[in-house]
Amino acid sequence: MVSFEDMQTFVEVADGGGITVAARRLGLPKSIVSRRLVRLESELGVQLLARTTRGASLTEAGVSFREHAARMCLEMDIAREEMLPTGELRGRLRVAVPSSFGPGHFAPALAELARRHPLLQLHAHYSDRYVDLVAEGFDCGIRVGYLQDSNLTARKIGAFAAGLFANPEYLRVHGVPQKPSDLLDHQAILQGTESWKLSDGSRTVVVNGQGRFKADSAVGIAEGTAAGLGVAALPVVIAQSYVTAGALVPIMAEYSLPEIGVYIVRPPGSHVSRKVRVLIDFFVERFSANSGTGRRDVG
């Protein structure tokens, strides 16, 4: 008889592209995952995976069986969720969280969610690097900024206000920009090659700044700006503590920048697990209740 856990393990391996990803997602040693795969292939009498040093690929039989197995696993997950008492969550929920915002803004909410659901195993991974949710075995992730993953399903849960900031001493030496074109005479501190879209209420101007200092996190950009390396567009919630300390001041306050979206993203699929649904609803509630999240005023 084919074991359901063996079948579920096979689906994780097939979707993740290898045993390592599946083991991480299932929270199991790789040896157990391998043993389950061997047992499943023995029960079915066919080879499902072609194993190589770089991972595992599905055989023709594996492709066919994966479709049937995935449907059965999905139906079982739905049945299990419907049988649980209302409000009770079980199992493991792995969430990828940006480290720049995570400790101060998302960590308290995740801790409260875990407190409300004592049977839930909530594993939060904090990093500003790009996280491949599928390959690394995450149920969902929190993304701040502009989404680039067209294959992910996203739900906007809130937004952060943004503004332009600089160090007071930098401004004393280099002058205070008054209009968008003035920014071209300043060092821009950026994450990559992004542009700044500045609006005065009647028109929007796009500024393609250039600079020698870049960082892949909002805190890294704030630190570079506070050190006097140039001008940066920052989320107000990140800049606020630097403004309070006198290391940054807002500039060109009469111009507004687009709000920075906050999203919960998940791998594609029609079925959203109850754990992820509860997480999304909880964060939407938290962001809507926090009226200061989108405020632009600082100082």
Give the mean model confidence (pLDDT) for residues 83-93.
70
For the four alpha carbons of 104, 190, 206 and 168, in that order, the dihedral sign comes to: positive
Token pair recorded at residue 276 = 């992820």
The number of domains in the chain is: 3
What per-residue confidence (pLDDT) applies to 84? 61
Distance (Å, whole) CA 50 – CA 56: 6
Could you tell me if residue 57 is inside a domain?
A: yes
8 Å CB contact between 81 and 273: yes
Could you tell me if residue 129 is inside a domain?
A: yes
Distance (Å, whole) CA 191 – CA 188: 10
Q: Which domain covers residue 209, as residue numbers? A: 162-258
272 and 134 within one domain:
yes
115 and 251 within one domain:
no
In DSSP notation, 247-270 reads S-EEE-TTSB-PPEEEEEEE-S-S
250 and 175 within one domain:
yes
Specify the range with the lowest mean pLDDT, choosing from 48-52, 204-208, 224-228, 292-296.
Answer: 292-296
Could you tell me if residue 15 is inside a domain?
A: yes
Residue whose pair of structure tokens reads 């039989």 in the numeric block: 61
Output 66 or 88, whichever has higher pLDDT.
Answer: 66
113 and 182 within one domain:
no
CA distances from 118 to 85, 88, 90, 268 (A): 13, 9, 8, 28
To the nearest whole number, what is the mean pLDDT of the chain?
85
280 and 193 within one domain:
no
- Whether residue 227 is predicted with pLDDT greater than 50 in this model: the reply is yes
What per-residue confidence (pLDDT) applies to 86? 61
253 and 190 within one domain:
yes
78 and 93 within one domain:
no
Nearest alpha carbon to residue 190 among 141, 153, 226, 225: 225
Could you tell me if residue 26 is inside a domain?
A: yes
Neighbour-count burial of 159, counting CB atoms closer than 10 A to its CB (0-12 exposed, 13-18 middle, 19+ buried): middle
217 and 133 within one domain:
no
Neighbour-count burial of 19, counting CB atoms closer than 10 A to its CB (0-12 exposed, 13-18 middle, 19+ buried): buried
65 and 16 within one domain:
yes
Confidence of residue 297 (pLDDT cuts 50, 70, 90): very low
CATH number at residue 132: 3.40.190.10
CATH number at residue 242: 3.40.190.290
Output 297 or 79, whichever has higher pLDDT.
Answer: 79
In one-letter notation, the amino acid at residue 124 is A
* Close Cβ partners of 4 (under 8 Å, ≥ 6 residues apart): 72, 73, 76
What per-residue confidence (pLDDT) applies to 257? 94
Specify the range with the lowest mean pLDDT, choosing from 75-79, 171-175, 212-216.
Answer: 75-79
- Whether residue 183 is predicted with pLDDT greater than 90 in this model: the reply is yes
Confidence of residue 81 (pLDDT cuts 50, 70, 90): low
Could you tell me if residue 226 is inside a domain?
A: yes
3-class DSSP state for residue 94?
strand
8 Å CB contact between 194 and 221: no
pTM of the predicted model, to two decimals? 0.68
- Whether residue 85 is predicted with pLDDT greater than 90 in this model: the reply is no
177 and 113 within one domain:
no
Could you tell me if residue 146 is inside a domain?
A: no
- Whether residue 88 is predicted with pLDDT greater than 80 in this model: the reply is no
3-class DSSP state for residue 221?
helix
Task: For residue range 251-295, list pLDDT tens digits in order.
Answer: 999 999 999 889 999 877 656 778 888 899 999 888 776 644 444
Could you tell me if residue 14 is inside a domain?
A: yes
292 and 246 within one domain:
no
CA distances from 213 to 122, 180, 228, 279 (A): 36, 20, 11, 36
- Whether residue 195 is predicted with pLDDT greater than 70 in this model: the reply is yes
Nearest alpha carbon to residue 230 among 169, 180, 178: 169
CATH number at residue 57: 1.10.10.10
Output 198 or 297, whichever has higher pLDDT.
Answer: 198
Task: For residue range 109-165, list pLDDT tens digits in order.
Answer: 999 999 998 888 898 998 877 788 876 778 899 988 866 656 678 888 888 899 999
Could you tell me if residue 148 is inside a domain?
A: no
User: Which of 40, 60, 86 finishes a domain?
Assistant: 86
Q: Where are the alpha helices (DSSP H) in the chain?
A: 4-16, 19-26, 30-44, 60-83, 107-116, 168-174, 218-226, 236-245, 274-289
276 and 136 within one domain:
yes
